[in-house]
Amino acid sequence: MRLRFLGRLGPADAVTVGNAALGFLAVVAATVDIGLAARLVLLGAIADGLDGVVARKYGGTEAGPYLDSLADVATFGVAPAFLVAVVTRREWGTPASLLSGISPDGLLALAGLLVPALYVAAAVARLGLYTAYDTKSDETVGVPTTLAATIFGAIVLTGYRSTETVLIGFHDAGFLLALAAVLTPLMVCDVVYPDLHAQDALVMGVVQAGAVLLPGIYGRGFAFGLLYLALAYLVLGPVVYWRR
């Protein structure tokens, strides 16, 4: 018996599959350490950019675009949504309390499940449309899932402390839930985003690596820088980012 993928997948595909594995690890980590989950999502974003570099150097395969979208569903769709669901459950509990009567916490707990579910659905729809129509274009329609997940990861790392069980300030459950509610329709809207140029993607990757790897205040500084870059591209990318 011979493994089917031998000889059919290339080095870039191996990086892509690694990205999917990071997404799974981020989901597991979210149950015990929100900060670690955010770091794994950002590592997945680095891998997502790296597989393109490897593909340009060593060549891609026919399976590459499909593997890329499948991996992105795990790391940039399911993992951030699960992170939000975990934080909201810690804050408001489960919707089971609604069985004994309507309460604000019960309704918020219900939203803490429904909004992340819609986020995953939007990510899957967006990635399917991207694979079908945008892979050969220098532009993409809707907010990229990688960008949305990067915003989540950066926000968590700017305010998270490993000794805390919930986030505080604008990183709390309500803020993350609202952010997911905003990003969900943006992923499937018709706003056109130009692809990042190689040098800009490299800068983003370096800042992501700093946010992931550096400890304490240094890592938080890089996380703030990453958040600034991601929000700038989110808001200004369709308007002023220079195209080829």
Share of the chain above pLDDT 70, in %: 90
Q: Which residue has the higher pLDDT, 63 or 226?
A: 226
Average pLDDT over residues 9-15: 85
| 166 pLDDT more than 60 | no
**Residue 75: closest CA among 50, 99, 28, 40:** 40
Which structural domain range is residue 135 located in?
Answer: 11-240
Given pLDDT bands bounded at 50, 70 and 90, which one contains residue 6? Answer: low
Query: Has residue 63 been placed in a domain?
Result: yes
Residues 2 and 178: their CA atoms lie apart, in Å, by 48
CA distances from 175 to 65, 105, 171, 198 (A): 33, 15, 6, 32
Query: Has residue 147 been placed in a domain?
Result: yes
Residue 51: give its domain's CATH number: 1.20.120
Amino acid at residue number 12? A
Other CB atoms within 10 A of residue 74 CB: 20
Query: Has residue 6 been placed in a domain?
Result: no
Other CB atoms within 10 A of residue 143 CB: 25
- If one counts the domains in the chain, the total is 1
Measured over all CA atoms, what is the biggest interatomic distance in the chain, rounded to whole angstroms? 60
To which residue do tokens 């305010």 refer?
A: 159
pLDDT tens readout for residues 80-133? 999 999 999 988 888 777 667 678 878 888 999 999 999 999 999 999 999 888
CA distances from 48 to 41, 55, 75, 145, 160 (A): 10, 11, 10, 11, 24
Query: Has residue 5 been placed in a domain?
Result: no
pLDDT at 36: 93
Q: Which residue has the higher pLDDT, 100 or 62?
A: 62
Other CB atoms within 10 A of residue 104 CB: 8
Other CB atoms within 10 A of residue 111 CB: 18
Query: Has residue 106 been placed in a domain?
Result: yes
Average pLDDT over residues 49-56: 85
Q: Which residue has the higher pLDDT, 136 or 181?
A: 181
Query: Has residue 133 been placed in a domain?
Result: yes
Average pLDDT over residues 215-219: 87
Model pTM?
0.91
Average pLDDT over residues 19-33: 95
Report how far Cα 133 is from the mean position of its chain's Cα atoms: 21
Query: Has residue 167 been placed in a domain?
Result: yes
Query: Has residue 2 been placed in a domain?
Result: no
